[in-house]
Each structure stands twice: as structure tokens, then as C-alpha cells.
């Protein structure tokens, strides 16, 4: 069953993202005058303010990738590199940009602040059209000012950090948890008939606190109720106590329809196993962290009925199926969401350069930030006026299949 008509859903999502702008910001934006752009050979003259101008040189057919390729976070960085590489390879095999190859340069920042800034400055000096960053600490937020001040497009893929408003040239291609939590609660209320939830937070995990707050707001908007709030972290002992959490939920089970959990995989698995052992059949609702084979393996049959939201993959989309096949041929592994987002980010920049016929970052950025809809391997998305991605989440349900558990796409 289709939860919302897609066109209506996009209008709702756009409205939700734009609510973040204050009245004063809207008024200020209304007073700003669009820059006057004059094309002059291989450079463009931009009159940003009356009596002021600077010359913007053409960019190279170059995209840079920054992230950890070694060390504890290497899996994130390498996924981004592999996704971007595949996009560039396919583009060049199809004729490139006006018959010229697009180049890709990637560097290992080793999760180090100084290395990150040095790499980004080098790519800026090389006049890269865009820099794509891995969803890790320094790669995500460290270079935003350097990129924005140099008018170099920076796209963070998969990051939860809200960096999109860091500057006019900063983009964030990831699923918004605000949109996703709202959508999941709406689905749970209207399609599953859930009305009353237990909310389980892990208060020594900042992301858990953030996403719990979003779930609470979503429940209020959808007319649902948080009937029980529990924290697995005991601030007095400094220890986690999942068994106490399970006991509290069991005590209120008859008045609850589902459990919202915002912590990590191991505690989620312990929680659903503990409830199952006590014959409490309350489905678990969670974010993208639990969309993992590890959760299925640790939770076992107790995971059945759990609902999670995710960015990717929707294998029903032909472009997604084709991407997965091509990626497996090149890398002998299954692409994760970071590889897919990097592929989409690279393709978006290249396609915009082809569409505009321009190598000026100001032109490419303006089209990307406009009403450009991208139907990528991570589904349809566009950008808010702050450069944040507006994407429709996927809802997956854990089902039993052929003697084991798997995620089945619901929406």
C-alpha cells in the first residue's frame, strides 16, 4: 500500500525542511539581490554587490574525495572512494564531459585534522569542481569553511552532522533523521495502528538523545503518545542496565503497542531477546543503525516484526539494481549506503556540469541548489535552500524467511 502520494509527500518534506528557517532569515533573504553573472570567455565576472566584482575562473574536470582509507574508520572512507570511482568510470566510458574525461583524486586523511585541511587546500588549489567527504569527524565538518570561502562545492555523504548551513557551497547528501522519524511514526500510526509507544534512550550516546527527541516530536505531530520513557544508562553507576529496561517495559506491556529504541545494535538485540523470553510481543522501531546483518544475527528470531528506516537500497528501482551489479563486478563486494551516496553525489556534479555546459562552480552550485530533482541509486532527492538533502525514507520490516530473518521492504 502506498503511504502517501509521492508528489504530496515531497511537498510535505520540503515544507518540513523549510520550517527550520526563522522569520528573520526569510525576511533577510528576501532583501538579498541575486548576483549578476556575466560570462566572459573562460571566466565569469560576478557583481555580488553594487560596485564590487571578482573574476571566477573555470574549474578543472576534477572531483576530489577526502576520508580515512586506513585505520579504524577506513570502511567509511573506502566505501566513498569506491562509489565515486564507479561513477567516474561509467561517465568516462560514456564519453565524459564534452568528450573529456572527468578525473578523480582521492586522499587518505587518516582521520587527522591537519591532514584533512592540507588535502582540501590542495584540491582547492587544483581548482577541483567539487570535494566529496566521508561521513566521519574531520572529513565532514573540518573543511567546510575552506571550501565555502573558495567557492568550492563540498558534499558530505551520509553524515548526521548538520553542516548544510555552514555555507552557500556546502551540501549534505544523507537521509534527514527529522524527516525519517516523522515518516516512520506516521507509517506506524496510520498503517500499523500503533498509538502508544515506549521510548528507550541511551543517554551516554549523543545521537540517541537527538533521535529520541525527534521521535517524541513526531509522535506529538501524529497524535500518538509516548507512554513510557526508559534509559538503559544509569547515571549513578555509570553502567548500562538493559535488564532493568526490559523489566519496566514488561510492567507496562499491556498498555503499549511498540517500543522505539535509539541506541546501538548490541543493546537492541539484548532488548528484543529479553522481551521475547518474557513472552512480550512488542515490535521494535528504530533508525538506520539497526539496518544491519549484525542486528539480525545477534537478535535472531526475536528481531521479527522490527521496523527500521533506511536510505538504501530499494532494489525495485532499476538504477539501484544496475548499480549494485556494477559495483560487485568492480569490487567483489556489496555496496553499502555510503558507496551509493558517493556514487549519487559524483553523478550529480557531473550531470550538472553537462547540463549547464559550465565549469564554473557558482553556476553548478546554483543549479544543484535549485529545483533539480535527482533520481539516483539512493532514490529520488533534492536539496533544501540550505543544501540539505530531502529524501523519502525506506521502511524495512524484519521477517522470517527460509529459516532465518531478513529485512523486507515495506515502503
87: part of which helix (H) or strand (E)?
Answer: helix 74-93
Q: Of the given ranges (43-52, 130-139, 254-263), which has the lowest mean pLDDT?
A: 43-52
DSSP one-letter code for 388: B
Collapse the DSSP code of 333 into the 3-class scheme (helix H, G, I; strand E, B; otherwise coil) and give the result: coil
Q: What is the pLDDT of residue 411?
A: 77
Q: What are phi and psi of 282, to 5 degrees?
A: -115, 120
Q: Render pLDDT for 356-367 as a digit per residue (tens, 0 to 9).
A: 999 999 999 999
The mean per-residue pLDDT over the stretch 141-149 comes to 90
Nearest by Cα to 173 from 339, 62, 291, 320: 339
Q: What is the pLDDT of residue 161?
A: 72
Give me the domains of the chain, ranges plus CATH numbers.
33-175+316-391 (3.40.50.2300), 178-310 (3.40.50.2300)
Nearest-5° Cα angle at 367, 94 to 91 = 10
Cα–Cα distance measured from residue 251 to residue 246, given in angstroms and rounded to the nearest whole number:
9
Q: How is 304-327 classified by DSSP, letter by letter?
A: TT-EEEES---TTSHHHHHHHHHH
Collapse the DSSP code of 243 into the 3-class scheme (helix H, G, I; strand E, B; otherwise coil) and give the result: helix
> Please, how many CA atoms are within 13 Å of residue 139, restricted to the half-sphere of its CB?
31
> Please, how many CA atoms are within 13 Å of residue 281, restricted to the half-sphere of its CB?
3
DSSP one-letter code for 103: E
Residue 115 has pLDDT above 90, yes or no: yes
Residue 10 has pLDDT above 60, yes or no: no
Cα–Cα distance measured from residue 203 to residue 229, given in angstroms and rounded to the nearest whole number:
12
Q: What is the pLDDT of residue 139?
A: 77
Q: Render pLDDT for 264-305 as a digit per residue (tens, 0 to 9).
A: 999 999 999 999 999 999 999 999 999 999 999 999 999 999
Q: What is the pLDDT of residue 18?
A: 42
Collapse the DSSP code of 160 into the 3-class scheme (helix H, G, I; strand E, B; otherwise coil) and give the result: coil
Q: What is the pLDDT of residue 50?
A: 55
Q: Of the given ranges (33-42, 253-262, 325-334), which has the lowest mean pLDDT?
A: 33-42
Cα–Cα distance measured from residue 272 to residue 270, given in angstroms and rounded to the nearest whole number:
6
Peptide bond before residue 92 is cis, with ω within 30 degrees of 0: no
Cα–Cα distance measured from residue 122 to residue 235, given in angstroms and rounded to the nearest whole number:
45
Percent of the chain with pLDDT over 90: 75
Q: Render pLDDT for 155-195 as a digit per residue (tens, 0 to 9).
A: 999 887 776 667 899 999 989 899 999 999 999 999 999 99
Q: pTM of the full predicted structure? A: 0.85
Cα–Cα distance measured from residue 136 to residue 195, given in angstroms and rounded to the nearest whole number:
36
* Cβ atoms of residues 123 and 146 within 8 Å: no
Q: What is the pLDDT of residue 138?
A: 80
Amino acid at each position: 500500500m502506498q503511504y502517501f502520494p509521492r508528489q504530496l509527500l515531497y511537498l510535505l518534506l520540503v515544507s518540513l525542511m523549510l520550517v527550520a528557517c526563522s522569520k528573520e532569515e526569510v525576511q533577510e533573504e528576501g532583501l538579498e539581490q541575486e548576483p549578476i553573472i556575466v560570462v566572459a570567455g573562460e571566466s565569469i565576472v560576478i557583481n555580488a554587490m553594487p560596485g564590487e566584482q571578482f573574476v571566477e575562473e573555470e574549474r578543472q574536470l576534477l572531483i576530489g574525495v577526502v576520508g580515512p582509507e586506513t585505520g579504524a574508520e577506513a570502511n567509511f572512507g573506502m566505501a566513498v572512494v569506491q562509489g565515486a570511482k564507479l561513477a567516474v568510470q561509467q561517465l568516462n566510458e560514456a564519453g565524459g564531459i564534452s568528450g573529456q574525461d572527468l578525473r578523480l583524486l582521492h586522499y587518505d586523511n587518516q582521520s587527522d585534522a591537519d591532514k584533512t585541511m592540507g588535502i582540501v587546500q590542495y584540491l582547492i588549489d587544483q581548482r577541483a569542481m567539487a570535494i566529496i567527504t566521508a561521513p566521519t569527524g574531520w572529513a565532514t565538518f573540518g573543511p567546510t569553511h575552506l571550501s565555502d570561502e573558495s567557492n568550492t562545492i563540498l558534499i558530505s555523504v551520509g553524515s548526521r552532522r548538520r553542516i548544510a548551513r555552514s555555507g552557500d557551497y556546502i551540501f549534505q547528501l544523507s537521509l534527514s533523521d527529522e524527516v525519517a522519524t516523522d515518516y516512520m511514526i506516521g507509517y506506524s500510526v496510520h498503517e500499523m495502528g500503533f498509538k502508544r509507544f515506549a521510548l528507550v534512550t541511551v543517554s551516554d550516546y549523543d545521537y540517541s538523545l537527538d533521535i529520541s527527541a525527534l521521535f517524541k516530536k513526531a509522535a506529538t505531530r501524529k497524535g500518538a503518545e509516548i507512554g513510557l520513557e526508559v534509559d538503559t544508562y544509569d547515571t549513578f553507576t555509570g553502567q548500562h542496565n538493559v535488564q532493568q529496561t526490559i523489566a519496566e517495559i514488561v510492567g507496562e506491556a499491556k498498555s503499549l503497542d511498540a517500543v522505539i529504541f535509539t541506541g546501538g545494535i548490541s543493546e537492541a538485540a539484548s532488548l528484543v531477546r529479553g522481551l521475547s523470553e518474557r513472552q512480550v510481543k512488542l515490535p521494535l522501531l528504530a533508525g538506520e543503525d539497526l539496518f544491519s546483518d549484525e542486528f539480525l544475527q545477534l537478535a535472531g528470531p526475536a528481531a521479527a516484526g522490527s521496523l527500521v528506516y533506511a536510505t538504501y537500497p530499494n532494489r525495485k528501482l532499476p538504477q539501484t539494481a544496475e548499480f549494485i551489479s556494477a559495483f560487485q563486478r568492480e569490487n567483489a563486494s556489496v555496496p553499502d549506503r555510503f558507496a551509493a551516496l558517493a556514487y549519487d553525489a559524483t553523478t550529480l556534479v557531473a550531470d550538472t556540469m553537462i547540463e549547464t555546459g559550465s565549469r564554473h562552480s557558482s553556476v553548478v552550485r546554483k543549479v544543484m541548489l535549485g529545483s533539480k530533482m535527482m533520481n539516483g541509486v539512493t532514490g529520488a532527492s533534492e536539496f533544501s535552500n540550505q543544501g540539505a538533502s530531502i529524501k523519502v525514507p525506506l521502511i524495512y520490516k524484519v521477517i522470517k524467511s527460509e529459516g532465518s530473518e531478513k529485512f523486507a521492504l515495506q515502503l
